[in-house]
């Protein structure tokens, strides 16, 4: 069987084009260009690359970026103070804290210093609760991107068995809840799950959010399943072993070019929406 590739690059391009048009319309209306603040702690090479990528894509979509760098030695208090100041700055409409932050910092405390109205990466408890209750708010960007990719390929989660491997607060948990909201029957798997493959082999929709290169192989995939690989490991390698999984899958995301570009597209779309919310409320 030859699977259909879910082309996140192409789908994300359409979302970014729409975000750019919305940003231009907002700027024409209000005279203000939407601004995304990116905050980086330390100089982890992968994080530096991700932040730069987000800034470049922002610029192409007509979104300004303001970049703030804190040293590796920054404390939780330093980071909270930075994020609080950006939350209060009317010139900033969205805030992205590049994570993971260095280990001594309390990442949850830092996330919670982001004002919900500017939480365009969907990392605060407020955003999580709004998503869980089906109320308006910003979704966690990667899960939001995954749902948009499924929609673009007419994958309706209703009635399907979705198995999510991973339960992190920014990826595994929220993507499972978004699938549940769309009437999938959801199973979460994690590091303590017994007989993982027995679960994943039942998945009509299998989401890999593990952080282990090529972790899910073809024998973990039900024939014809929709396989979404959210993993992004050093060397541009996903959490799914594409070579063995693709022949079993009905639809599958490549890495790179699957979930990654969708994450940035949702981030930009939410930044423009945040700017509109803030500028038109004034």
Residue closer to ligand NAP by CB (options 192, 281) is 192
Q: Which residue has the tokens 């990466």?
A: 121
Taking the complex as a whole, the smallest distance from the CB of residue 127 to ligand NAP amounts, in Å, to: 15
Spatial separation of the C-alpha atoms in residues 148 and 153, rounded to whole Å: 9
Nearest to 174 by CA among 220, 226, 222, 132: 132
Q: 139 or 165: whose CB is closer to ligand NAP?
A: 165
Rounded to whole angstroms, the Cα distance separating 274 from 183 reads 28
Site string for ligand NAP, 115-144 (x = CB under 6 A): ---------------------------x--
Q: What is the CA radius of gyration of the chain?
A: 19
Q: Which stretch binds ligand NAP (CB under 6 A): 35-43, 55-63, 106-114, 184-192?
A: 184-192
Q: Which of 189, 225, 246, 267 binds ligand NAP (CB under 6 A)?
A: 189
Write the interaction track for ligand NAP spanning residues 221-250; mark x where CB under 6 A is met and - where it is not. ---------xxxx-----x-----------
Residues 85-104, one symbol each (x = binds ligand NAP by CB under 6 A, - = not), give --------------------
When CB distances to ligand NAP are compared, the closest residue is: 168
3-state secondary structure of 278: helix
Q: Which position among 22, 118, 119, 121 bears the catalytic label? A: 121
Q: What CA–CA distance (Å, rounded) separates 113 from 66?
A: 17
- Is 91 tagged catalytic? no
Active site residue 270: no
88 included as an active-site residue: no
Instruction: Say if residues 4 and 228 touch (Cβ distance below 8 Å).
Output: no
d(CA 33, CA 261): 23
Cβ–Cβ < 8 Å for 163, 199: yes
Considering the candidates 22, 54, 173, 278, report the single residue annotated as catalytic.
Answer: 54
Contact 33, 59 (CB under 8 A): no
Would you say 8 and 261 are in contact if contact means Cβ atoms under 8 Å apart?
A: yes
Q: List the one residue from 26, 83, 171, 225 that touches ligand NAP (CB under 6 A).
A: 171
Binding site for ligand NAP (CB under 6 A): 142, 165-168, 170-172, 189-193, 196, 209-212, 230-233, 239, 259-260, 263
Which residues are designated catalytic? 54, 98, 121
């Amino acid at each position: 069987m030859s699977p259909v590739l879910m082309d996140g690059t192409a789908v994300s391009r359409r979302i970014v084009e729409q975000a750019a048009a919305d940003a231009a319309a907002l700027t024409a209306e209000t005279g203000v260009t939407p601004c995304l603040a990116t905050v980086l702690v330390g100089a982890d090479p992968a994080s530096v690359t991700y932040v730069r990528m987000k800034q470049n894509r922002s610029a192409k979509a007509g979104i300004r970026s303001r970049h703030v760098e804190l040293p590796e030695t920054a404390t939780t208090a330093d980071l909270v103070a930075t994020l609080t100041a950006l939350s209060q700055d009317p010139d900033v409409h969205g805030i992205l804290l590049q994570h993971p932050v260095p280990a001594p910092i309390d990442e949850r405390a830092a996330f919670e210093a982001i004002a919900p109205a500017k939480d365009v990466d969907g990392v605060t408890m407020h955003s999580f609760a709004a998503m869980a209750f089906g109320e308006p708010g910003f979704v966690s960007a990667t899960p939001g991107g995954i749902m948009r990719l499924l929609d673009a390929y007419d994958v309706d989660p209703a009635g399907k068995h979705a198995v999510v491997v991973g339960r992190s607060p920014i990826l595994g948990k929220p993507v499972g809840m978004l699938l549940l909201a769309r009437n999938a029957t959801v199973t979460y798997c994690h590091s303590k799950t017994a007989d993982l493959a027995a679960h994943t082999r039942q998945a009509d929709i299998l989401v890999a959010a593990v952080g282990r290169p090529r972790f899910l192989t073809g024998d973990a995939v039900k024939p014809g399943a929709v396989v979404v690989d959210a993993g992004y490991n050093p060397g541009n390698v996903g959490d799914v072993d594409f070579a063995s999984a693709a022949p079993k899958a009905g639809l599958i995301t490549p890495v790179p070019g699957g979930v990654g570009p969708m994450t940035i597209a949702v981030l930009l779309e939410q930044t423009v929406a945040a700017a509109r919310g803030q500028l038109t409320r004034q």
